[in-house]
Structure 1
């Protein structure tokens, strides 16, 4: 499609890629945009100016039809909240642990191709660019110090650990080993050493320069929280309604978990059932874990294709990777490159585990792979001319994406896929975690009181320890994930709520469509329409699905 709105979307992506080469490389955008992104204040301002100018041009263009209407709706919503986030000074708080720049720099190298000598030169260039990028990032962090707009001390101390871990774990050495003794071996080794030194330097900066200026409070307050939630949800949030709803939802899921646990071990408590499953439904080596993950991903693709979804053949290639030395507590997904030459990938942190609980992780396979993130995000890349380039490579909305992935877990339950012992309990346990995330994230950042009955169990007011207690004992999270999860909520306000509130929006939209169509409702057709829409903010989801 070549309408002015689509042309502007294409122009914006190219212009943004020039201003943010790391984004271009990570997203797999073809073109010579350089290697290093400038994260300093002036460059941040230049990218913000591009956002504002593009938004003004977009508002002046006329739509030529439904595809234009959708492209304008989504692009305008994303650019407005981006502009508002910049105006509020959120850019000065450029530290988000365990996700954020420190993790993204590692991923930037991880996502580089490694087939040709030219690819390996790119690997070396990306590693060599890390010191420059971290140096400009420090300028922005210093601007935050000068403005009195800093991140919480918790994020700083955890950022020190994360940066230092990347250096000490020598996260790029596995690629040097894979390359071997070729002509670029010395250059690659030197580039890796430069990157490790830069991570150590970043750790020292946070520890010695930034930490004395960090704020003590972990919570960001209601004004900042609502802005961040609007960014992650694509919707205005009523935090008090969502907080009360999530407590009720947690109680409902806990009742369902108790009933499901009784099917595994009658007359045993939930903790006993979980311990039993941990002992009996697990694998013992990372190699077995990778084989199990790969088998389940491929089985889901085969079972869905042509039955509940029409999966583009180009999306049948889904890569599964284990991640060693990562501070991310949970699995994650990276989408295909723009030209689909790089496949979609699911990434599974190993941490310090020696046993891998398959009963609890099958539901995450469906969340990260199919019918979850890979099917949804991958579909935007193969949707053809119906979606703008902005929607395909830039416009993801966490509430839309994570809501779909959690809906995908429930859909897998509807399809009867949780047949192995304990796996349906694992799905419910994951849903309880997502409900617990909502009450923790909203309650902690807004300093809301816990309901009276909950206060007797966990404490009157939210703090790190109360949040950790709720996550472990009510969200039933695996021990290796609990601490980094709480760190994540503190550094990324409004993101943890996206899963359950996004699922609520998706299930409500499907229920509305079923009620309207009655016996004529076609679930496969509804899924096709939903995925072909591309990313949409939750405030607009139901109306867009109605057409």
Structure 2
């Protein structure tokens, strides 16, 4: 055996696996460098008979749902951030492997699941639940592999989903109730430096391959990481302050090393990566954009049709916004009405006060909607309002409950250094993030895990489905009269306009589209980030800091932002089609019943979602 081939004995493999490795070596298969154990096992596992599950040594999965859940289990072991987010590995003490090898191992797990799905006999897909799960798994993993094989992970640097955020976020998703919980946090903290080093290696490989993120993303992440050190101590040191005294020395030392590793990475971004990114385009280009749209929507929408429809929505909303602005302040323009609401409208003073106020908004929604338009029972009633940690993006967000509901769903408000919070926009936003939006959908999925599969309610999530439901939820609350106050309704309409503008400028910037002749803004010119920002400012009341963060977000997360309105369109069309079908049969359409069936069906891409909703 040459030095470039792995030692079978060193891997600790079983005799069967060792024999497979030797067979590979005799056939002339080699590695350019000795792989880590995970890579050796992955290579050996690909030669195991299909009757053996290589991850658990249990009988192999024989149905699509079993294969999907086996894939989820493999990913939970491979990717601690997923485990933490789902709450399925509370004793886990790891950080993710963000090196090129780590990403390759995730892709290998996906390929294996697809191969096992393809090997199933036709009879395995006979039940509707099995066919639905298989369709989702096949679509999601195919889209995932397209992203991986194009090398997009080598330039994964943006203000929301950059892997560096997951390295910190894992501490916010794991428990700290007991000494054992804190002991696990000490171990996780010790692994931060390795995770950061792996991520740096991936980005460095991207530099070598000329797969480089845009300069705006680099500058933004450098600024975000700087905010982690704005207090007297680092964010990591602040996290350690709540640790029990007996474990505090270990966590303090680990937090110092973690902070040093992040500071070093930030310096590398600024001094090495940023100069390499300078002068490069911030836009994705059509090929990367279409790949990313597929990943976020589970579909391949006609981008020209989507843009034309968004312009129709833009003109419709302009009229509604003008009318609502006049209700806020007679004779006022939309911008004047927004300025009035910012200064004279209802506002909450204080960070803790706004957190409690937002909790009240969600609690009131739960009580009002339960039994009328939804059944909100048991753990679905529990959703927490939180303040986002420093150094995150400007937009509010939601984190789902753990699969056992031991950790509830949570909404998060970035304060951006503010102490005063006008509420004219916040009400519809918390219907979006909380109830009946993200929380009600995603918590309902978790509650349905036994009847679906854990994969369908967790890792198989399609962004446009989820964001589309949340936007549908906002409009539902308007339909039900919860936004009758002129200020709150203007906030709802302004957010609808923002999501509509997203479709226009996200597609426009990344594909180099020309602004149409009917546009009130620079007709005939080609979209650029600068024009997109100016268009956004002219037609939205979003504060300047958030607007700037949004443009950075669209540039660094191409294709995700269009899913809100396109997803909402599918949800509304699906409801209309189901209602029409009921009426055609002479039956009564029960909106609450439709809602509950829709929320219990789990994840689908937009193409499949349209058919599923219409059939309910």
TM range, normalised to the smaller chain? over 0.9
**Does residue 543 of the first structure (1) align with residue 543 of the second (2)?**
no
Residue matched to 1:25: 84
Residue matched to 1:223: 287
Structure showing greater relative contact order (alpha-carbon pairs closer than 8 Å, 6 or more residues apart)? 1
Q: CA deviation at 1:189?
A: 2.2
Q: 1:8 aligns with which of 67, 81, 88?
A: 67
Residue matched to 1:193: 256
Residue matched to 2:23: none
Q: CA deviation at 1:64?
A: 4.1
Q: CA deviation at 1:459?
A: 8.5
Alignment of 1:229-240 (within 5 A): 229-240=293-304
TM-score (ref. length: structure 2): 0.85
**Does residue 248 of the first structure (1) align with residue 304 of the second (2)?**
no
* Distance of 1:351 and 1:438 partners within structure 2: 26
**Does residue 445 of the first structure (1) align with residue 510 of the second (2)?**
yes
Residue matched to 2:269: 206
Alignment of 1:134-149 (within 5 A): 134-149=196-211
Moved more, 305-314 or 336-345: 305-314
CA deviations 1:60-115 (Å, max 9, x no partner) are 22224111111111111101111111122212112122332222222211112111
Inter-CA distance 312–58: structure 2 relative to 1 (3 Å threshold): farther
Residue matched to 1:82: 144
Moved over 4 A (4+): 31-34, 455-459
Inter-CA distance 459–296: structure 2 relative to 1 (3 Å threshold): farther
* Distance of 1:255 and 1:153 partners within structure 2: 37
Q: 1:112 aligns with which of 170, 174, 178?
A: 174
**Does residue 500 of the first structure (1) align with residue 569 of the second (2)?**
no
Q: CA deviation at 1:288?
A: 2.0
Residue matched to 2:490: 425
Q: 1:529 aligns with which of 597, 607, 616?
A: 597
Residue matched to 2:7: none
* Distance of 1:347 and 1:93 partners within structure 2: 27
What do you get for the CA RMSD once the two structures are aligned?
1.8
Inter-CA distance 198–252: structure 2 relative to 1 (3 Å threshold): same
CA deviations 1:405-437 (Å, max 9, x no partner) are 000000011111113440011100000000011
Residue matched to 2:323: 259
* Distance of 2:238 and 2:368 partners within structure 1: 34
Matched position secondary structure for 2:410: strand
For structure 2, the residue ranges without an aligned partner over 5 or more in a row are: 1-60
Alignment of 1:3-402 (within 5 A): 4-30=63-89, 34-61=93-120, 62-169=124-231, 170-179=234-243, 182-214=245-277, 216-279=280-343, 280-402=345-467
Matched position secondary structure for 1:161: helix
* Distance of 1:200 and 1:452 partners within structure 2: 48
**Does residue 478 of the first structure (1) align with residue 546 of the second (2)?**
no
Moved more, 366-375 or 164-173: 164-173
Inter-CA distance 97–458: structure 2 relative to 1 (3 Å threshold): farther
TM-score (ref. length: structure 1): 0.96
The count of residues paired between Structure 1 and Structure 2 equals 545
* Distance of 1:50 and 1:323 partners within structure 2: 33
Given that residues 409 and 427 in structure 1 are in contact (C-alpha distance below 8 angstroms), is that contact kept between their aligned partners in structure 2?
Answer: yes
For structure 1, the residue ranges without an aligned partner over 5 or more in a row are: none
Matched position secondary structure for 2:398: strand
Given that residues 290 and 321 in structure 1 are in contact (C-alpha distance below 8 angstroms), is that contact kept between their aligned partners in structure 2?
Answer: yes
